[in-house]
């Protein structure tokens, strides 16, 4: 199905001096979303002692900006950068541009040496003025969402889990881009801390706009795994007891090197320093 | 009964729908509009204060937060007016080199090596946006303080007088802002109070036209005595001397802006400042008199010299720009924070050997360099390899008073005023205009004024000249006297030395011993973001 949206609201550059700021929230922009989704609910097995049900859903969607001109002036065109990052002064890594996803990244293309490590400060495609060209890469929005949840029940036992996956979403690892040897020297004569990312790229100065830090954050997560045991009525058939155990955040399979591929939310920029905890819980429910 | 009920049910919605179409033009229920902002005499004074403050702060919350300009396109701290202007006037000269190596576009580095473009520097964009923000709020104040509008507000006669006077001050500040635009960008849009805020595409004007507009505004203020006589108004507010000094600057550089030499007019206005009898070089503190001008108590020790300061206060005027930027950025290496009255330097800026060689460092008290742990030579300037210890440090601006007191010791924001216009500059402009053939002055006076500056700088007459200085001497003296006060680029351009190979300094044009660059660099480009949002603009030659 295709959904077209017009008169989106966006913060765009306006000619300075015509108003009291350099950007104004304006009705501007058209966007087109295309996609397909379906879900399947099934109870594959249902007998006296054993029940198994499962649910699977799948979504594929892409979005594209189709127009960014100021209404009434089709010759004008605005390129709006967004996606501020930490470190350095005022850098942005994303852009709104016609023909691309709204969360498109806008970075320099890193050049790698013979040993596969990035060459610091060397980028592909320099402009006439000697500075590297910013290019469009990937987006923070996943193309595919999938979910699968299932429950088994056999006599007194029950068990279930939930899986979730997002594919083709990319994340700009701001924690890694903020780690460089030069950043450890802070003028007091002592060194400050940085993350282990610096050991991999060996950068001496900040290379915030390199696409080396743009990583594929596709993931498969098991959100939840739970078990239950129903003891039934005990103690003279007066009291029922049920035991349960659950694990939250069971595992995450991803190539992303940061802490959690989902932590940036929709923004695609990861500044998160705290890992997501894995929680184990046991429960006893008693009633009469 | 049933029919009546049904008629009611239909009629009521129909009536409501009818009422809907009338009230589509309503005032916003939240947010500020001019009629609610400018409604009491106090609010007008606040509005005028904002026009003044636009030079020192960047938003409604110090030091940052609630920025005037959207943080998505320009960083709030580095788009401060004086900071950006200072950067664009000092970095591409012999006076300053930046050593920060962590900027995403490494853009402060670009200035010294003449590598800037219309899109690789948020300082360039920030300055342009900040100039027009200042123009916009000045225009709004001027609009709202028109006599016809004030008459309808029912204020008292004395309030109307005060606000009308403030209107003249806003006109001066707007002329000053446009003067900076003229000097940096050349041909830019001219937006006045006649252009109401809205969605229109401002039209660019020729550099001559902008020059004429600024001149006409300032002449109107001066000829009709619209601002107070020198020394009569509250310190920090614009007065006639500020208007005359700005006119002198405009005329001194008129050959660059319009192709026509106006040295005579420059002398006329320098004489008005000199002959007012109000100003003199500050000499009260012996050998420390020069240094005192750049300390937080300059309004007490050096008011006789400072014609128009941008006032700063560590508690009430906080930003990451203006003198807060200059003082923090100049401190690094082994320079002790306590001497400068701050909590930690940003280790950003040093100077070149070419500049140091202008001084008799033993005898000239104005040679304020930090050499401990610093090398005179600068082996590298690229962000990957440069460090603060390359080049001598500069100790000119400090946040510790002439009596050794740091104001607001618990705050890391400075209280040192930025001297936008200074009497020493006027004396040097007079001398230069006489040497350039302007009439209305004499070379005897030129020599006298020149020696006054030398004498104050040396603390004795040993540095005085016995014959009239040459133009090159004037340029060098401007370097020694006015360094780090954002005039160097303009001066070098006027002398034809900014882009040519006659005067080379370390890393000019990206070469270790300096090299000439193309003449189109005498003007900065209009930022690409502006060209994108206003397709009627034409870029300055040589860019893109």
Q: Using an 8 Å Cβ cutoff, are B319 and B311 in contact? A: no
Task: Find, in chain B, the residue whose alpha carbon is nearest to that of A69.
Answer: B533
Are the CB atoms for B450 and B308 separated by under 8 Å?
no
User: Is the pLDDT confidence value at A285 over 50?
Assistant: yes
Q: Which residues of A touch B102 (CB under 8 A)?
A: 87-88, 180, 182-183, 205-206
Would you state the structure tokens that stand for residue B354, as one six-digit string? 């070419």
- Closest by alpha carbon to B187, among B207, B164, B213, B209? B207
- Chain B environment of A209 (Cβ under 8 Å): 104-105
Q: Has residue B101 got a pLDDT over 90?
A: no
| Chain A environment of B329 (Cβ under 8 Å) | none
Gap from A142 CA to chain B (nearest CA, Å): 24
8 A C-beta contact, residue B415 and residue B294: no
Domain holding A116, by residue range, is: 2-287
pLDDT for A227 equals 95
A163-203 pLDDT per residue, tens: 999 999 999 998 888 888 877 876 667 788 888 888 888 88
pLDDT tens readout for residues A116-147: 888 887 888 876 656 677 888 898 889 999 99
User: Out of A76, A81, A188, whose CB is closest to B72?
Assistant: A81
Asked if residue B80 has pLDDT above 50, the reply is: yes
The DSSP secondary structure of B407-463, one letter per residue, reads SSTTS----PPEEEEEHHHHHHHHHHHHHTT-SSS-HHHHHHHHHHHHHHHHSSGGG
In this predicted structure, the answer to whether residue A24 has a pLDDT above a threshold of 80 is: no
Coil, helix or strand at residue B66: coil
**Mean pLDDT throughout A56-79?**
72
Q: Mutating which of A17, A18, A186 best tests the B interface, going by the most B Cβ atoms within 10 A?
A: A17
- Determine whether the interchain pair A21/B200 forms a contact, defined as Cβ–Cβ distance below 8 Å: no
pLDDT at A192: 83
Chain A hits for B529, Cβ within 8 Å: 13, 22
Q: Where are the alpha helices (DSSP H) in B302-351?
A: 322-330, 337-340
Residue A75 has pLDDT above 60, yes or no: no
Q: Out of B72, B115, B191, whose CB is closest to A11?
A: B72
Question: B88: number of CA atoms within 13 Å, CB side?
Answer: 28
d(CA B41, CA B150): 10
- Inter-residue contact B82 to B54 (CB < 8 Å): no
Question: Residue B57: what pLDDT?
Answer: 87
Q: Which of B69, B61, B76 is nearest to B321 (CA)?
A: B76
Q: Is the pLDDT of residue B31 over 70?
A: no
Q: In this predicted structure, what is the pLDDT of residue A272?
A: 85
Query: A28 pLDDT band (50/70/90 cuts)?
Result: confident
Structure tokens at B422: 């200074």
**For residues A65-96, b (16+ Cβ closer than 10 Å) or e, as one string?**
beebebeeeeebebbbbbbbbebbbbbbbbbb
At A72 the pLDDT is: 46
> What is the reported pLDDT for B250?
97
**Pairwise CB contact (< 8 Å): A18 & B105:** no
Rounded to whole angstroms, the Cα distance separating B292 from B284 reads: 10
Closest CA to A90 of B67, B114, B532: B67
A96 or A286, which is more confident: A286
Confidence class for position B142, pLDDT limits 50, 70, 90:
very high
Between B106 and B388, the more confident residue is: B388
Q: What is the pLDDT of residue B28?
A: 67
* Residue B529 confidence class, pLDDT cut points 50, 70, 90: confident
Q: Binning pLDDT at 50, 70 and 90, where does residue A76 land?
A: very low
Q: Flag whether pLDDT at A37 surpasses 80.
A: yes
**Percent of chain A predicted with pLDDT > 70:** 91
- Is residue A12 pLDDT above 70, yes or no? yes
Query: Tell me: the pLDDT tens digits for B410-425?
Result: 999 999 999 999 999 9
Determine contact, residues A69/A76, Cβ cutoff 8 Å: yes
Using the predicted structure, report yes or no on whether residue B25 has a pLDDT greater than 80: no
Higher-pLDDT residue of A183, B320 = B320
Tell me the ipTM for this assembly. Answer: 0.76
What pLDDT band is residue B217 in, cutting at 50, 70 and 90? Answer: very high
Q: Pick B295 or B22 by higher pLDDT.
A: B295
* Averaged pLDDT, A255-264: 87
Mean pLDDT of chain A: 84
**Which of B117, B383, B534 lies closest to A129 in CB terms?**
B117
Window from A76-80, B308-312, B378-382 with minimum mean pLDDT = A76-80
Q: Which residue out of B189, B533, B543 would a mutagenesis test of the A interface target, given it has the greatest number of A Cβ atoms within 10 Å? A: B533
Give the mean model confidence (pLDDT) for residues B303-310. 95
pLDDT, tens only, B149-202? 888 888 899 999 999 999 999 999 999 999 999 999 999 999 999 988 877 888
Q: Which residue has the higher pLDDT, A33 or A186?
A: A33
Instruction: Give the distance from residue B137's alpha carbon to the nearest chain A alpha carbon, in angstroms.
Output: 7
Q: How many independent structural domains does chain A possess?
A: 1
Q: Could you give the CA distance from residue B154 to residue B142 in angstroms, rounded to a whole number? A: 18
Distance in Å, alpha carbon of A186 to nearest chain B alpha carbon: 9
pLDDT in tens, B457-508: 999 999 999 999 999 999 999 999 999 999 999 999 999 999 999 999 999 9
H and E: helices and strands count for chain A: 2, 19
The SS3 of residue B197 is coil
Q: Considering CB atoms only, which of A78, A183, A204 is closest to B384? A: A204
Which residue from B102, B195, B529 is facing A87, i.e. has the nearest CB?
Answer: B102
**Does the pLDDT of residue B430 top 50, yes or no?**
yes
Cβ partners under 8 Å of residue A145, min gap 6 = A57, A58, A59, A165, A166
Per-residue model confidence as pLDDT tens digits over A220-249: 999 999 999 988 887 777 888 899 999 999
Size of interface A-B (CB pairs under 8 A): 134
Q: Which of B59, B73, B80, B121 to probe the A interface (max A CBs under 10 A)?
A: B73
**What pLDDT sits at residue A5?**
87
pLDDT band at B23 (very low <50, low <70, confident <90, very high): low
Task: Give the residue-averaged pLDDT of A60-89.
Answer: 68
* Cβ atoms A4, A67 nearer than 8 A: no
Which of B74, B200, B530 is nearest residue A90 as measured by Cβ atoms? B74
């Amino acid at each position: 199905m295709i959904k077209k949206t017009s008169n989106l609201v966006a913060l765009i550059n306006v000619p300075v001096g015509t108003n009291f700021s350099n950007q104004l929230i304006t009705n501007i922009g058209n966007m087109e979303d295309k996609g397909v989704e379906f879900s399947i609910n099934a109870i594959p097995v249902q007998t006296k002692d054993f029940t198994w049900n499962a649910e699977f859903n799948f979504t594929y969607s892409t979005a594209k900006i189709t127009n960014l001109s100021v209404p009434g002036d089709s010759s004008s065109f605005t390129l709006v950068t967004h996606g501020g990052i930490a470190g350095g002064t005022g850098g942005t890594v994303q852009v709104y541009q016609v023909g691309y996803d709204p969360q498109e990244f806008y970075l320099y293309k890193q050049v790698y040496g013979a040993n596969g490590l990035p060459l610091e400060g060397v980028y592909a495609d320099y402009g006439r003025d000697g500075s590297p060209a910013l290019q469009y890469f990937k987006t923070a929005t996943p193309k595919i969402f999938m979910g699968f949840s299932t429950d088994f029940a056999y006599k007194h036992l029950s068990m279930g889990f939930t899986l979730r996956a997002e594919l083709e979403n990319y994340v700009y690892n701001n924690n890694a881009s903020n780690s460089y040897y030069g950043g450890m020297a802070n003028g007091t004569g002592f060194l400050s801390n940085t993350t282990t990312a610096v050991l991999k790229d060996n950068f001496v100065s900040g290379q915030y706009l390199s696409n080396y830090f743009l990583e594929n954050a596709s993931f498969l997560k098991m959100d939840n795994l739970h078990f239950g045991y129903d003891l039934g009525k005990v103690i003279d058939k007066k009291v029922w007891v049920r035991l349960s155990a659950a694990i939250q955040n069971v595992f995450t399979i991803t190539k992303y090197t940061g802490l959690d591929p989902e932590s940036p939310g929709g923004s695609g920029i990861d500044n998160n320093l705290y890992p997501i905890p894995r929680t184990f819980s046991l429960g006893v429910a008693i009633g009469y | 009964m049933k029919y009546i009920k049904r008629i009611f049910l239909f009629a009521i919605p129909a009536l409501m729908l009818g009422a809907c179409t009338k009230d589509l033009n309503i005032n916003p229920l939240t947010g500020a509009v001019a009629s609610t902002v400018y409604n009491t005499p106090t609010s007008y004074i606040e509005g005028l204060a904002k026009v003044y403050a636009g030079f020192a702060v960047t938003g409604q919350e110090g030091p940052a937060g609630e920025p005037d300009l959207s943080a998505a396109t320009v960083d709030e701290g580095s788009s401060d007016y004086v900071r950006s202007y200072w950067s664009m006037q000092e970095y591409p000269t012999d006076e300053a080199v930046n050593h920060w190596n962590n900027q995403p576009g490494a853009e402060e580095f670009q200035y010294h090596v003449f590598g800037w473009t219309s899109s690789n520097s948020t300082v360039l964009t920030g300055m342009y946006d900040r100039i027009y923000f200042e123009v916009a709020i000045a225009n709004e104040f001027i609009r709202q303080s028109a006599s016809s509008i004030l008459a309808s507000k029912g204020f008292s006669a004395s309030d109307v007088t005060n606000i009308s006077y403030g209107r003249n001050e806003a006109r001066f500040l707007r002329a000053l802002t446009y003067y900076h635009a003229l000097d940096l960008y050349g041909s830019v849009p001219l937006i006045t109070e006649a252009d109401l805020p809205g969605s229109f595409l401002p039209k660019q004007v020729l550099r001559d036209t902008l020059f004429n507009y600024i001149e006409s505004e300032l002449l109107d203020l001066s000829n009709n005595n619209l601002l107070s006589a020198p020394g009569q108004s509250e310190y920090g507010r614009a007065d006639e001397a500020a208007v005359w000094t700005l006119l002198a600057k405009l005329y001194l550089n008129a050959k660059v802006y319009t192709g026509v030499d106006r040295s005579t007019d420059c002398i006329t206005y320098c004489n008005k400042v000199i002959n007012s009898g109000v100003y003199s070089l500050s000499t009260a503190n012996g050998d420390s008199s020069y240094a005192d001008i750049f300390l937080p108590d300059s309004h007490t020790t050096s008011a006789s010299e400072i014609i128009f300061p941008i006032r700063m206060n560590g508690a009430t005027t906080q930003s990451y720009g203006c003198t807060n930027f200059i003082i923090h950025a100049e401190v690094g290496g082994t320079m002790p924070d306590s001497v400068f009255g701050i909590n930690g330097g940003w280790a950003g800026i040093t100077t070149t050997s070419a500049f140091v060689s202008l001084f008799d460092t033993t005898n000239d008290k104005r040679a304020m360099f930090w050499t401990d742990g610093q090398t005179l030579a600068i082996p590298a300037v690229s962000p990957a390899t440069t460090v603060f210890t390359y080049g001598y440090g500069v100790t000119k601006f400090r946040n510790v008073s002439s009596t050794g007191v740091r104001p607001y010791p618990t705050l890391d924001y400075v209280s040192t005023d930025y001297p936008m216009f200074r009497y020493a500059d006027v004396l040097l402009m007079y001398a230069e205009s006489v040497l350039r053939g302007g009439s209305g002055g004499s070379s005897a006076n030129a020599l006298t004024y020149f020696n006054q500056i030398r004498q104050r700088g040396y603390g004795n007459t040993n540095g005085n000249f016995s014959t009239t200085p040459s133009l090159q001497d004037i340029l060098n003296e401007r370097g020694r006297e006015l360094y780090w006060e954002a005039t160097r680029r303009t001066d070098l351009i006027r002398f034809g030395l900014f882009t040519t190979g006659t005067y080379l300094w370390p890393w000019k044009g990206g070469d270790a011993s300096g090299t000439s660059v193309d003449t189109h660099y005498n003007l900065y480009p209009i930022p690409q973001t502006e060209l994108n949002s206003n397709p009627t603009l034409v870029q300055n030659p040589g860019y893109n």
